[in-house]
Structure formats: C-alpha cells, structure tokens
Amino acid sequence: MSDGENIQQTGYEVIQGYLKTLDGSPGVYRMLDSESRVLYVGKARNLRARVSNYARPSGHSPRISRMIDNTAFMMFLTTKTETEALLLEQNLIKQLKPKFNVLLRDDKSFPNILVTSDHGYPQIKKHRGAKKEKGSYYGPFASAGAVNRTLNQLQRVFLLRDCSNAQFESRTRPCLQHQIKRCSAPCVGKISAEAYGQTVDDAQKFLSGKSSGIQTRLATEMTAASDAMEFERAAALRDRIKALTQVQTTQGINPKGVSEADIIGLYMADGQACVQVFFIRSGQNWGNHDYYPRVIDDVEPTEVLEAFIGQFYDQRDPPRQLILSHEIENPDLMADALSGKLGRKVELLVPQRGEKAELVDGALRNARESLARKMAESATQTKLLKGLAEAFDLPKVPARIEIYDNSHIQGAFAVGAMVVAGQEGMIKNQYRKFNIRGDELTPGDDFGMMKEVLTRRFKRLIKEDPERKEGHWPDLLLIDGGAGQVSAVREIMREYGVEDIPMVGVAKGEDRDAGKEEFYRTGKPVMALRHNDPVLYFIQRMRDEAHRFAIGTHRAKRAKSIGATPLDDVPGVGAARKRALLAHFGSAKAVSRANLHDLKAVEGVSGALADTIYAFFHEKG
C-alpha cells in the first residue's frame, strides 16, 4: 500500500470491528477521531448492546451520524455496576471535554458560612474550599455576594466577631465593628462568655432554619428593657429584630415545605441552554446561579439535564432533594449514584403542581431571562469582535483575545496579569496572574516585566499545546503600552517563533485622557480610532479589566506580605501551631522575645519545637 492509500478508516464499519471483543458488561466507552482526539464519552449497562447501535449504517440523528462518521478508534473501560459507569463517565467528560458531549463549563466552588469552634469566643466568617477548620459549616451559598449579604445582616443581629484569633488576642480597645454595632466586642470584655455563647447558639439556630423562637425572645427582651426604662438597650434590640426581619425578606423565596433542596430549571433556545440553580437550605433561599452548558445540535433536554447533574455534583455534596424542571434519562441510576456519594437518600423530583412546581417555575423563568440576556450580549460581542478585526486588519475575527498589564509600587510586589476575552465576553476562569521573579530586573522595569510574563506564557503554550489545537492560543494580544512595549514583546515572539499572532500596544495619548488612545503595531504607523467608536469602548473595557485584575493581584500580594509574620519562616511551625503561639503570646514580636520555658507552655508545642523556635529568634547572625 502506498503512502497515499494509508488513510485511517472511520465510520460505522470501524465500530463493527469492536463488537467481537465486547461482552454484556457495564462500562464506559470513548470514541476518538483519526488524530486520537476524544469525540464522545458514554456509559452503558451493556457495552456490546450499546456499541452495536452505533454499528448500524442508518437510523441515527444528524449529531450521532457526524460522530460515527468521524470515529476512527474506540476505547473501553468495564465497571462492576452501571452506577460506577455513570460516575466514571461524568468524570471523564469533565477531564477530556469531548466535542459531542454536553459540557458544564463553569465549575467553581461555592462559599459557606463558618462558625468556628476552636476558641472560647467563636468567630463567624466566609469560607471557601476544603472544610479543614474546626466548626460548623452552613451552605452552600450561590455566590460571594449572597454569603456577604447574609454575613453582614447576621453580624447586625447577633453581633458576632469576624476578626482572626490573633487580632482578637492582641486588641486592647474595641474595633470599628463594635462602633458600628456589628460586634459585641468580646475581645475587651464588653460581653460575658455566657452571653456571647447564647448569641452564637442563636446564630446557629437561625442558619439551621430554627429562627421563629429567636425573634419572639428578642421582642420579649425589648419590651422588658422598655418597661425598665433601659431605652438604649431596647433600641438596640429593636434594631436587631429589624435586621433579622430584613435577612428573611431579602432571601425572597423561603419555601414552607422544602427544607433542603436544589431547584434546577433548564431552558433551551436556538441551540443554547441555561440551567438555573436555586440553593434551598434550612428552609431558606441561599441564592441562585446560572450556568450555560455547551450543547450540540439536536440534543434533548433529558440528556442535557442528566449531564449537568452528573458533572455539577461530581465534586460537590448533593442536598436531600433535587427538584427538576425536566425528567432525565436515568433518574433511578442518578439517584443511586448521588445517594452513594452523600451516604443518605437523595430524591429526584419533577413536580407537576403545588409549592415545588412553583419553585421550578421560578427557576425556569430566571433561566429563560438569563439566556435571553446572554444571547443579546453574545450578538453584541460578535459585532464588536468583527469591528476589532476590521479596525486592525486582522486575518480573522478573534475567538480569543489576551490582554496583559503589570502592577507594582516602585518595583515592589510586582505582578503581571492576563485577562481573556472572547465570544462570550470576559472569560474569568482563564485569567492568569504572574508573580514577577526576575532577580536581574531593575525595580519598575516595565519592559522587562512584560518580557518575563510573555516568555513564561509562550513557554507554557508551546509545552501544553504545541499543535495549537486545544483553543488555548490567542488570536490577538493587547499589550498595555506603546512602541517600547510592543518592541519588547515582538522580540519574545520572534524568539519563540510565534510572530504570526497579531499584537497591538494600547497607549493613552499625550494628555493621557481615556478616549485618545493610540495603537501601536509592528511595521505599521501609529493609529487611533474615532472617539465615539464602539470598538474603542470595547478595547477600553478590556484594558480596564486587565488593569483592575493586575491591581487586585498586586494588592493581595502586598497585603499577604504585610500580614506575614516571622513565624512563617520557622521550621516546623504550620498554620495550627502559628495560631496557638499567637493566641498564647498575642503577637509574633512577643513570641520572638519569649523564653524557652514559656514557649514549652504553649499547647501543641513540643520541647523540641520550642528549642527550634527559640534558636530561630536568638541565634540568627
């Protein structure tokens, strides 16, 4: 056979060849194209029966026909049960992102409220991530905004502290939170341990949905204070009752017959989908979040919703009930999988009437409105991207724009930032920050900083996606700066052989007014856009977003450095022992001055570690 005839076969005949090697086991299958890219991941109760469906030459939907026509290879993994196959399927979809699968693209974690239990006066705070700290967790909340609003109101009602243990131990007078009546100042003895414990208990009851008795008790106390002519205390209790009422009213939906559930509504139109999720915990609405899963032509709502649920709860604990707008393909199987994950029964409901149906209607309405807004924004974005391509004579309309900026104070705490824009607007999960590491850079050398950032960026791209097939490569670079920055970046691009990527430097005009930006490109004259051009506003928004992200990253780095203590560098002192030392001594300076006997008195600090700490502070230089 000649090289010209050595072409990889694809299609249903290739799939037929696998049938003789398969049995009726449950498992997961992958369909791959001639370049070994995964097209589709699926599960099956019976692998042989499922694959035989694909081996037929006709009778498929257009989407499945295209998938079969592109299939050159298949891979199989057998499992003990179909439930295991379902879990493995969803995990592989998230990892491999196959072209023909429904894919959940936004998969961030959700915040919780934590009431700590490692201190005599518990702290209330927002928590995101692994639940490693001791205490009671309440959530999830749909967004940082939802949890912050609830926290602010709870502090007004229950006056719980939000300061760290170290700050608590080091205070000698009440902080601003006490002045604005959001903390009872236990740090300086303004409230007894018993009374503070009562407010902690009340807050936890409220977060657990047991709030009716709290308001009654506060009202009784307010009446008693008023009768005793303690008008200041009565006014404070009145404000707390008002704040508690406000928490309940701002939550909007507070269902009577649903204590713990996620309300999930799916709306599809014009080849796009929106899933709206409302979080109901302890009979309270803890916010909602919209998702836009990637869907393929002719996919059914049942398949979209099942894929969403499988991927959404892959790394999350499900609630006791999922109240859905549509049936899914395998409800019993999904319920078994989620119940096994949670360790208790999880129900999937599709209500037709009553309060639960009203909740689903609300989620569907939100999904419909959110999708309409997104489609309108997408149409505007498409027009702006086309205008950008025309303005800068780009070879094609850019699908991915990377915008770069730096931030520092006289060279200190230097960071670089990259934000990404595309068809769907700003793509925040693609943003990247760069801690500037160049030891040889002159402080404040913006050219050198930008060269370091772009060097690291192109090195990673070449390593992770050398063939430029994964969609990670930019179609346009926007650099904050003029001719000098463009020249520095072009040098890096030349070095890595990526000069074909268009690049534009965005610099403010002579008087540095927004609206008079000048644009620099290699080998072309400086240009400007008319001051009312929508493309100019679009570029300004992208540049401002890069600047905002760079400044935020810089401030976080500076705050972390300022908040660091010498204890961070002591061998063997981790977060827990650091907290214990600060709680015992009040400050890092006091730890550094402590004698060996006092160090050994700290709970959790062994004799050997006390020797290490003492030596660290007393035997330097």
Residue 364, pLDDT > 90, answer yes
Q: Which of 123-132, 245-254, 406-415, 446-455 has the lowest mean pLDDT?
A: 245-254
pLDDT 10s digits, 65-111: 999 999 999 999 999 999 999 999 999 998 999 999 999 877 678 89
Reported as a single tens digit per residue, the pLDDT across 266-310 is 999 988 999 999 999 888 888 889 999 999 888 999 999 999 999
- Give the pLDDT score at 560: 62
Domain 260-372 grouped into CATH 3.30.70: no
Residues of the chain with CATH 3.40.1440.10: 3-96
Q: Which helix (H) or strand (E) holds 49?
A: helix 47-54
Q: How far is CA 64 from the centre of its chain?
A: 33
Using CA atoms, how far residue 152 sits from 198, 241, 280, 541, 606, in Å, is 19, 14, 20, 31, 40
pLDDT tens by residue, 411-424: 456 788 899 999 88
Q: What is the pLDDT of residue 442?
A: 59
**CA distances for 404 relative to 53, 139, 401, 418, 491, angstroms:** 50, 36, 10, 5, 16
* Token pair in block for residue 585: 């001594």
| Cα 29 to Cα 8: distance, rounded to the nearest angstrom | 20
Q: Which strands sit side by side in the sheet containing 124-127, from one edge to the other?
A: 124-127, 112-116, 135-138
Name the residue among 295, 292, 336 with its Cα closest to residue 318: 336
Residue ranges matching CATH 1.10.150.20 in the chain: 566-618
Do residues 291 and 274 lie in contact, with contact meaning Cβ atoms separated by under 8 Å?
yes
SS3 for 8-34 is CCCCHHHHHCCHHHCCCCCEEEEEECC
pTM to 2 decimal places: 0.73
Beta-bridged to residue 520, according to DSSP, are 505
**CATH code matching the domain that covers 566-618, chosen among 3.40.190.10, 3.40.309.10, 1.10.1060.10, 1.10.150.20:** 1.10.150.20
Tokens of 191: 């409230």
Choice between 130 and 107, residue whose per-residue pLDDT is larger: 130
Identify the top-confidence range among 40-49, 411-420, 467-476, 572-581.
40-49
Please tell me the class of the 400-561 domain.
alpha beta
CATH architecture of 3-96: 3-Layer(aba) Sandwich (3.40)
3-state SS, residue 205: helix
Which residues pair with residue 409 across a beta bridge? 412
Statement: residue 620 has pLDDT above 60: no
Query: Dihedral of CA 67/68/70/76: which sign?
Result: positive
Q: Report percent pLDDT > 70 for the chain.
A: 90
pLDDT for residue 575 is more than 60:
yes
Give pLDDT tens digits for 313-344.
Answer: 988 889 999 999 999 999 999 999 999 988 89
What is the rounded distance in angstroms from the CA atom of residue 143 to the CA atom of residue 153? 16
